[in-house]
Amino acid sequence: MNKIKHHFQFDIRLLKGIYMLPFIGYLIALLLMVLSYPEGSYLPYIFLQGIAIPAAGLHLVFLYTPIYEEGATDTLLHYYRRNLVNDLLRYSLLHGVFILFLTGLLVLVKGVEFLDLIKVMHLFLLFLFYQVIGISILTIVKSLEITIAIYAIYTVTEVVTLGNFLPWPHLFLFEEPFYDIWLFLTFFFLVVGIILSIVQLIRALK
């Protein structure tokens, strides 16, 4: 317990104000979900997918950036490698609680029948995907700025254009899903993305 407390205290001390960014993301998602309530549209689910879940993956990106700062790699890589699983678990649990809360709100707004098995599985896979993809990109490009740029460009472009703009893998659901090839491809790309990210993490931090 002392160790978990230490890790969170250290993370806050290290990141200072930046530590609050994911929580600000949650707040924005929460406000938008509540404000989009009267329309009875798909928007609350889009805000949960497109703002809250991507925000949930940011902490680990920020926290693993010091590895790639000048003069730190040879020292920190050795230690971070050992703690990667713990860190993934810590932040998955922390953000899992917030996402569960927002999902609860979604159920409140849209009714319990809205959240069918497909959406539950989709949310779960999307959450896992965003927990590992950012840190995985970081281990490739070794730069916080480039990682955030890739992360943000993909997410913002997808959400703003509702997945209609660029011919790249689409990971979000912007309308009620049907059992068609597009739904299959969304799940396929999510699973492939998660697997490739984990492989990259193992490769980079071995």
Partner 1 sequence: MDMGRCGSTYGSEENPVNIYVEGLCKAFKKKSVLSDVHLSFSGVYGLLGPNGAGKTTLMKILAGLESFQSGIVYMDEQVISTKSYVKKIDAIGYLSQDFMVYPELTVYQVLEHIAVLQGKKVTETAEKIHDVLKKVNLQHQEKKKMKELSGGMRRRVGIAQLLLREPSVLLFDEPTAGLDIEERVRFRNLLKKLGKHHLVIISSHLVEDIEFLCNRIGIIKDGNVLFEGKPQELKEKANEQVYQLEIRPEELDDVIGKQEVIQMEDNGSRILVRFLSDEPIGEVVSPRLIDGYLTILKASYIHE
**Residue 143 binds partner 1, judged by CB under 8 A:** no
Among 19, 42, 68, 80, binds partner 1 (CB under 8 A): 80
**Residue 79 binds partner 1, judged by CB under 8 A:** yes
Among 23, 40, 83, 156, binds partner 1 (CB under 8 A): 83
Among 17, 38, 39, 70, binds partner 1 (CB under 8 A): 70
**Residue 2 binds partner 1, judged by CB under 8 A:** yes
Residue whose CB is less far from partner 1, 55 or 63: 63
Q: Which parts of 16-35 interact with partner 1 (CB under 8 A)?
A: 16
Distance in Å, CB of 21 to partner 1, minimum: 17
Among 72, 83, 187, CA closest to 135: 83
**Residue 101 binds partner 1, judged by CB under 8 A:** no
Residue whose CB is less far from partner 1, 13 or 38: 13
- Binding region for partner 1 (CB under 8 A): 2-3, 5-7, 10, 13-14, 16, 66, 69-72, 74-83
